[in-house]
Structure 1
């Protein structure tokens, strides 16, 4: 009986320490007042808001993107007109997805972070990164957020506008159009049976890496590269989708997009994609193990207090 009471006190103490420690850790994380230094070479980070955001939603996006002081960022809005200008989109579209762009020194690479991945339903980090590299954006930290569930396409347009209206140089319109075509094809392929977002991103990345390696001179060369990658990655595509890929990458070839300049970033993309595929495969077993652990722990605590 005494031993049982002792176990109760031990269990209560453990729970108290866990809750108290968790609270302190959360407080420390939220109370961090360190501010990132502004790179005067590139100017202020640029925050682009979707024009359909309500005032309350805009404040929520500011919070999500870490904008505590609006004087330390340049704020612009992406509109339906911009959708037409950059990607020949529908000017009447509702635009919610927003982005923060912090330019970096050459060679630092491109980092894409979705702050609200649960609300960006069609575009993954790797899809954004692939499209941005195609558009010519190579060295920056890009953070994407939306207070509501959206496909995520307007954030890409916002990033393009940031480079035109911000402190940086404007982008090549032909490249941004091809980049948008790439993103649209990627999101459409990811909806096909037998494919998912990671597999599509892996295919696009591997094709680009091979283009950088071979520097294809003809459309037939592009076709051969695509067929080889489809076979290697064991992907089944319809003749129509295969042709869309060939046409897309042939456009890139004609624009002389040099993927050799971003070879290391493409390699990093491959690693990220493969890591997530491995994690996804192992998720089921891992979650089952965690579930069983907590079930056993709860049962043990119940037995102590019963």
Structure 2
């Protein structure tokens, strides 16, 4: 019996570095206001913990500051955030191998939806991963995109070009503005952007005038009435998204490699955990006997 217990201890010690390696591709970003408030941070971690089977202590973490958000979004949204206004937090897990899945805490994030985040992420070449977005207090979720992108950078280990971040932010901001102006649901506007973007990418267009024609046609098919300026704003956002695609080659390659590594590591970990559980059950059978 002592030998069995010793073997279990040795096995557990040996598995520790393997488990740590398996958490590559797992990252969390905290808004600086949340990070500096223990109550807020605890609330966010509780939400994250209820939406992942990973140990949060094994995540690579980073704090998103107001200056980072302002650097990307200020000239797009016209808003300037202070250090006590950055609440939103994001979790990214690249071991998710079924495309992209985005969970938004709708009890706190009241404007941006999962489909809107998905559109913005696609503009930076991101179509894989498990994403969770939350905040300890009510928030629109617009500035949270900076945290989501930062989480991907941490998880992948490669920066996203600044121009791509700005294009994604512009797209998300335009989506929220169009939803507010038209009275359409955010997801309906997200569908408009997604379908128009697919056609723009299919035709490899960058000219806003040509893209505007596509936007109007897609909007009509969805029974969405757009003003000429609204159609132009959408076309401009999609054109800017198209123009930055060439700068994303390195990040896309690194993202693909990191996703494959994280998925493979998770598969190995699952096998090891199953073996370990069988081993424990075997040992416990002696005590039961």
TM-score (norm 2): 0.69
SS in 2 for 1:118: coil
Task: Point out the structure with max Rg over C-alpha.
Answer: 1
3-state DSSP of counterpart to 2:180: coil
Mean Cα displacement is larger for which, 218-227 or 128-137?
Answer: 218-227
| Residue aligning to 2:87 | 96
1:80-102 per-position Cα deviation (integer Å, ceiling 9, x unaligned): 11112333362416011111111
Is 1:220 matched with 2:206? no
Give the aligned partner of residue 132 of structure 1.
Answer: 121
Does residue 112 in structure 1 map to residue 93 in structure 2?
no
Q: Which has the higher contact order (CA 8 A, sep 6+)?
A: 2
Q: Deviations over 1:104-124 (max 9, x none)?
A: 47x74221111x212101100
Say whether 1:188 aligns with 2:169.
no
CA RMSD of superposed structures (Å): 2.7
Note the residue ranges of structure 2 that are not aligned, 5 or more in a row. Answer: 1-17, 253-289
The 1:91–1:146 alpha-carbon spacing in structure 2 relative to 1, beyond 3 Å, is: closer
Residue of structure 2 in register with 1:151 after alignment = 140
Q: Secondary structure at the match of 1:159?
A: helix
Other structure's SS at 1:119 match? coil
Indicate the SS of the match to 1:131. Answer: helix
Aligned equivalents of 2:172, 2:184: Cα separation in 1: 15
Distance 1:212 1:167 in 2: 25
Distance in 1 of aligned mates of 2:57 and 2:245 = 39
User: Which is worse superposed, 38-47 or 203-212?
Assistant: 38-47
Q: Structure 1 stretches (4+) deviating beyond 4 angstroms?
A: 67-70
2:58 corresponding residue in structure 1: 72
Give the 3-state SS of the residue equivalent to 2:199 in structure 1: helix
Normalized against structure 1, the TM-score is what?
A: 0.65
1:254 maps to which of 231, 243, 257 = 243
Structure 2 distance, partners of 1:150, 1:255, is: 29
1:83 corresponds to: 69
Q: Distance in 2 between matches of 1:41 and 1:211?
A: 38
> Secondary structure at 1:95's aligned position in 2?
coil
Question: How far does residue 103 in structure 1 lie from its aligned partner after superposition?
Answer: 1.6
CA distance in 1, matches of 2:206, 2:154: 35
- Gap change, CA 1:85 and 1:108, over 3 Å in 2: farther
Mapped pair 1:198 → 2:187: yes
Q: What is the 5 A alignment of 1:238-277?
A: 238-256=227-245
